[in-house]
């Protein structure tokens, strides 16, 4: 029996995690759930799962949730509550959206537990802090992001090591590894030119062809910033050089990523898009989850297409590579600037094409700082958001 904390339990990853654990209650017991403010769903999940603790991020919603939890379930409230439930189970699933997931990532690793990581922003923005926390005895990250989960599976257990101090030590970036190939669906705007994309609406950008996800990540998929963030995530998770990471556009989202070895052999992981597979993998690893999600029917699969990304139109991908290569606080600035730009787009204030402009201009104002503690990351994030907001405001006028 494994115990599980689900942080961000009411979001897309969270609700799918509930589905995965509920299918095998004999194998997994949810001891804690947490969400920012969706009190109705949180209360329903508490009655379904009977956790020991429920964490509510937004203190102003406390009254609404009090009295609606099952007998014996403790309610904790506020900014620190996510961190408080992160280290108490064998596995913490971090399904929090955006930078707010940082406290979950750091608290889980510092507690020496397994982090099932669906929140990429925490690893990207706070890499120096997260890598140190990862060196804690017993701490390990099993990625839930589909591409990185695929890479984790392609590398095989001989290349997974927990409790090491730095990226350089981690994985020893196996010398036989030639390339890591991350597959991107290309999003709803694949094949369109920059000019054609000046007028696209929020709803068009939210219509992802293959994956059903939350709004922030769906917009990131449409700009390829999601893939850019995933490139940085791959570098941090597996310790590979940026020169060894390549992005391949694959619209069917069947091949979830690949590794190419020194002898030319390419290993990939295939399944229909279903996030419950990576979630089940991260819970069950090194075993396999007991039932299939997204298993392929070869009689109807048809053809799979691959091509190179259009970097002139989808500029966010190159901006991410550049920030990743710069390292230090640059990825934190990139992620923060992107969150500000995406919010502005979702709010109807800017054009889709302006998202990359805001990120680009913000990065030109990047002031490198050392990231030693979580507080340093928060400072860098705050500063980057101020700069990005000023730039966004100037655009809106």
12 vs 146, beta carbon nearer Mg ion? 146
- Look at residue 235 and give its three-state secondary structure: helix
Tell me the closest approach of the beta carbon of residue 230 to Mg ion, in angstroms. Answer: 6
Name residue 260's beta-bridge partners.
Answer: 179, 266
Tell me the closest approach of the beta carbon of residue 146 to Mg ion, in angstroms. Answer: 5
Burial status of residue 116 (CB atoms within 10 A of its CB: 0-12, 13-18, 19 or more): buried
132 vs 208, beta carbon nearer Mg ion? 208
| Per CB under 5 A, 220 contacts Mg ion | no
DSSP string across 121-184: HHHHHTHHHHHHHHTSTT-EEEE-SHHHHHHHHHH-GGG---S-SSTTTGGG--TTEEEEEEEE
Tell me the closest approach of the beta carbon of residue 119 to Mg ion, in angstroms. Answer: 12
Tell me the closest approach of the beta carbon of residue 59 to Mg ion, in angstroms. Answer: 32
234 vs 387, beta carbon nearer Mg ion? 234
Burial status of residue 240 (CB atoms within 10 A of its CB: 0-12, 13-18, 19 or more): buried
Tell me the closest approach of the beta carbon of residue 45 to Mg ion, in angstroms. Answer: 24
39 vs 219, beta carbon nearer Mg ion? 219
Span from 43-51, 55-63, 132-140, 143-151 in contact with Mg ion (CB under 5 A): 143-151
Determine contact, residues 293/19, Cβ cutoff 8 Å: no
Residue count of the chain, please give it. Answer: 397
- Look at residue 93 and give its three-state secondary structure: strand
Tell me the closest approach of the beta carbon of residue 95 to Mg ion, in angstroms. Answer: 13
83 vs 151, beta carbon nearer Mg ion? 151
Instruction: Return the residue of 121, 140, 145, 343 that touches Mg ion, per CB under 5 A.
Output: 145
Span from 65-73, 141-149, 171-179, 338-346 in contact with Mg ion (CB under 5 A): 141-149
* DSSP H or E run through 113: none
Tell me the closest approach of the beta carbon of residue 187 to Mg ion, in angstroms. Answer: 12
28 vs 99, beta carbon nearer Mg ion? 99
The DSSP secondary-structure symbol of 230 reads H
Span from 82-90, 146-154, 257-265, 378-386 in contact with Mg ion (CB under 5 A): 146-154
d(CA 391, CA 358): 6
Q: Tokens representing 376?
A: 């340093």
**Nearest residue to Mg ion, using CB?**
145
53 vs 154, beta carbon nearer Mg ion? 154
Total number of residues that touch Mg ion (CB under 5 A):
3
Q: Tokens representing 119?
A: 């929140």
197 vs 229, beta carbon nearer Mg ion? 229
Span from 11-19, 64-72, 138-146, 257-265 in contact with Mg ion (CB under 5 A): 138-146
Tell me the closest approach of the beta carbon of residue 356 to Mg ion, in angstroms. Answer: 19
Tell me the closest approach of the beta carbon of residue 111 to Mg ion, in angstroms. Answer: 26
Burial status of residue 357 (CB atoms within 10 A of its CB: 0-12, 13-18, 19 or more): middle
Q: Tokens representing 335?
A: 């992620």
Span from 133-141, 144-152, 171-179, 181-189 in contact with Mg ion (CB under 5 A): 144-152
Span from 81-89, 137-145, 292-300, 307-315 in contact with Mg ion (CB under 5 A): 137-145
8 vs 87, beta carbon nearer Mg ion? 8
Determine contact, residues 260/266, Cβ cutoff 8 Å: yes
133 vs 184, beta carbon nearer Mg ion? 184
Q: Tokens representing 257?
A: 């990523």
Tell me the closest approach of the beta carbon of residue 46 to Mg ion, in angstroms. Answer: 29
DSSP string across 18-79: HHHHHT-TTTEEEEEEEESS-HHHHHHHHHHH--SEEEES-GGGHHHHTT-SPTT-EEEEST
| Per CB under 5 A, 339 contacts Mg ion | no
Q: Cα 288–233–309 angle (5° rounding)?
A: 105
Span from 35-43, 135-143, 147-155, 184-192 in contact with Mg ion (CB under 5 A): 147-155
Binding site for Mg ion (CB under 5 A): 145-147
């Amino acid at each position: 029996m494994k115990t599980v904390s689900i942080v961000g339990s009411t979001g897309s990853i969270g609700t799918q995690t509930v589905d995965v654990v509920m299918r095998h209650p004999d194998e997994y017991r949810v001891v804690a759930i947490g969400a920012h403010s969706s009190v109705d769903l949180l209360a329903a999940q508490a009655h379904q799962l009977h956790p020991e603790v429920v964490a509510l991020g937004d203190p102003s919603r406390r009254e609404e949730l009090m009295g609606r939890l099952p007998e014996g379930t403790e309610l904790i409230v506020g900014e620190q509550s996510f961190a408080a439930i992160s280290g108490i189970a064998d596995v913490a699933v971090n399904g929090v959206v955006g930078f707010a997931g940082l406290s979950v990532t750091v608290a889980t690793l510092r507690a020496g537990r397994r982090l099932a990581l669906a929140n990429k922003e925490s690893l990207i923005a706070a890499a120096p802090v997260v890598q140190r926390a990862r060196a804690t005895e017993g701490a390990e990250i099993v990625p839930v992001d589909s591409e990185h989960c695929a890479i984790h599976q392609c590398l095989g257990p001989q290349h997974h090591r927990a409790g090491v101090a730095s990226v350089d030590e981690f994985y020893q970036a196996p010398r036989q590894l030639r390339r890591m190939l991350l597959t991107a669906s290309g999003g709803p705007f694949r094949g369109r030119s920059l000019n054609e994309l000046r007028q696209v609406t929020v709803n068009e950008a939210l219509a992802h062809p293959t994956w059903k996800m939350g709004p922030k990540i769906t917009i990131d998929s449409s700009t390829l910033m999601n893939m850019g963030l995933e490139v940085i995530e791959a570098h941090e998770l597996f310790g590979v050089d940026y020169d060894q990471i390549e992005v391949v556009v694959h619209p069917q989202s069947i091949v979830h990523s690949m590794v190419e070895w020194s002898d030319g052999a390419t290993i990939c992981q295939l399944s229909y898009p279903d996030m419950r597979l990576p979630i089940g993998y991260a819970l069950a690893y090194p075993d396999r989850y007991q039932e299939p999600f997204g298993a392929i029917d070869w009689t109807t699969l048809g053809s799979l297409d691959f091509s190179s990304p259009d970097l002139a139109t989808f500029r966010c991908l190159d901006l991410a590579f550049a920030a990743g290569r710069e390292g230090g606080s640059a990825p934190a600035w990139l992620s923060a600037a992107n969150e500000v730009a995406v919010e502005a787009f979702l709010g109807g204030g800017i054009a889709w094409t302006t998202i990359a402009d805001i990120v680009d201009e913000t990065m030109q104002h990047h002031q490198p700082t050392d990231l030693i503690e979580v507080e340093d990351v928060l400072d860098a994030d705050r500063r980057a958001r101020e700069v990005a907001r000023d730039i966004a405001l100037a655009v809106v006028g």
